[in-house]
Amino acid sequence: MRICLVRNDKMGDMILTLPVVQGLKEINKDYQIDIVCSKKNQKICKYYKSIKKIFLLQNKFYQVLKIISKLRNEDYDYIFTFSPGIISILISIFSKSKKKSLLIFKSRYKNNYMSKFLDKVLGKIFFNQCIIIDRRLTYSQNDSIHQTEIMMELVNKNGLNLNNNAEIKNVFEFKKIDLNSRKLCLIHLSSKWVNRYFSEDNFIDLLENLKNLKIDIVMTTDGTSKKVFYKIFKKYQIITNEELENLNNINNILILDQLNFDNWVSIINSSTYVITPECGCTHISSLFETKLCVIYDADNVPDMIAKEYAPWKKKYTKLFSNNQNLEKELISFIS
């Protein structure tokens, strides 16, 4: 049996898709499962040994045609389109897969009949199976909108057996970094920290109070960090990706700036605690035994986001950005 999954969006989306792969392989070891991925989530796919072939999709026209051509040369029994967007749908339509399935999530912000109208039309015409999730209605009825559960539902609807409780812990071979640290707390320095409820000064106060707990703190960065954390970058020592390799210990608080993927994941794997706004760091952390706290944006339907993108099979602490006791809650999380 040959199966292709189309998941050309963000890293967190791919990590939530991997239990589907794992669940299929645990029941049917002979299944070959290939992935169409994006540049953002390719980095996680290449470490996951249950994936046979990886097709990198970029949004330039000739690159889309190239992927379509490659998939047409593959004799797939099933192709599942889990990612939103017309490009993902067209890739599946023009494949020669015997059975095609499509997952559509309607907007969580607008209760609009026209939401994903073209996707729905194409789904009815070209796909053997199509699940349409009205996020707002499903959430209001307290039914599941979790991405992984819905993807598994679509696979089951095709008559394929899989372990619906599959986990992906301990299947990656990421190393740990020995920094001779006390308990290590990693805080992901996303711009999502700074909002109308929580300022950069509040963040500095949090850091200074956390270090009194006799832990070491590292802050990892992304492309948004320097846009809002002007004081942070002046106040604390910055360690670059190259300098990390020669780092033997941590002096209370460090910024680990622009780490490559391997080092970033390894430092997460080495941490006792991870505190992060909801983003890719959330889902990377869910792969390991680290104690995880996720902060959701109170202005962006936080409970709905949490139910849709909660770390799969991972116990974690959930907080909201408008929590007036956010600092106290985070200190309590560590202590």
Bridge partners, residue 131, by sequence: 103
- Distance between CA atoms of 128 and 76, rounded to whole angstroms? 14
Residues 34/54, Cβ–Cβ less than 8 Å = yes
Residue 217 CA to residue 207 CA, distance in Å, equals: 8
Query: What's residue 174's pLDDT?
Result: 85
Are 128 and 99 within 8 A, CB to CB?
Answer: yes
pTM: 0.94
Query: Which pLDDT value is given to residue 248?
Result: 79
25 vs 81: CA distance, rounded Å: 19
Looking at residue 271, the DSSP 8-state letter turns out to be -
> Which amino acid is located at 272 in the chain?
T
94/322 Cα distance (integer angstroms): 46
Exposed, middle or buried, 158 (CB in 10 Å: 0-12/13-18/19+)?
A: middle
> Residue 79 has what DSSP assignment?
E
Q: Look at residue 83 in the predicted model and tell me its pLDDT.
A: 94
Whole-angstrom Cα distance, residue 311 to residue 11?
13
**What is the pLDDT confidence band of residue 178, given thresholds at 50, 70 and 90?**
confident
Exposed, middle or buried, 261 (CB in 10 Å: 0-12/13-18/19+)? middle
Q: Is the pLDDT of residue 180 over 80?
A: no
pLDDT band at 163 (very low <50, low <70, confident <90, very high): very high
Model confidence pLDDT, tens digit, residues 87-99: 999 999 999 999 9
> pLDDT-based confidence at 171, cuts 50/70/90?
confident
Give tens-digit pLDDT for 222-236.
999 999 999 999 999
pLDDT in tens, 198-215: 999 999 999 999 989 989
- CA separation, residue 82 to residues 16, 208, 279, 328, 331 (Å): 11, 43, 19, 39, 38
| Structure tokens given for 29 | 């070891």
* Mean pLDDT in residue range 117-123: 93
> Which pLDDT score is estimated for 251?
73
What pLDDT is recorded for position 115? 76
Distance CA 295, CA 216 (A): 21
Q: Does the pLDDT at position 73 exceed 90?
A: yes
Separation between Cα atoms, residue 324 and residue 27, nearest integer Å: 47
Quick one: pLDDT at residue 303? 97
Which pLDDT belongs to residue 182?
80
Tens of pLDDT along 243-259? 988 887 787 899 999 99
Q: Of 112-126, 138-152, 284-298, which range is least confident?
A: 112-126
Q: Give the residue among 66, 83, 90, 110 at the shortest CA–CA distance from 16.
A: 83
Count CA atoms closer than 13 A to 145's CA, side-chain side: 23
Distance CA 71, CA 76 (A): 8
The answer on pLDDT for 332 being more than 90 is yes
Q: What is the pLDDT of residues 10-59, one digit of tens each?
A: 999 999 999 999 999 999 999 999 999 999 999 999 999 999 999 999 88
Q: What percent of the chain has pLDDT over 70?
A: 99
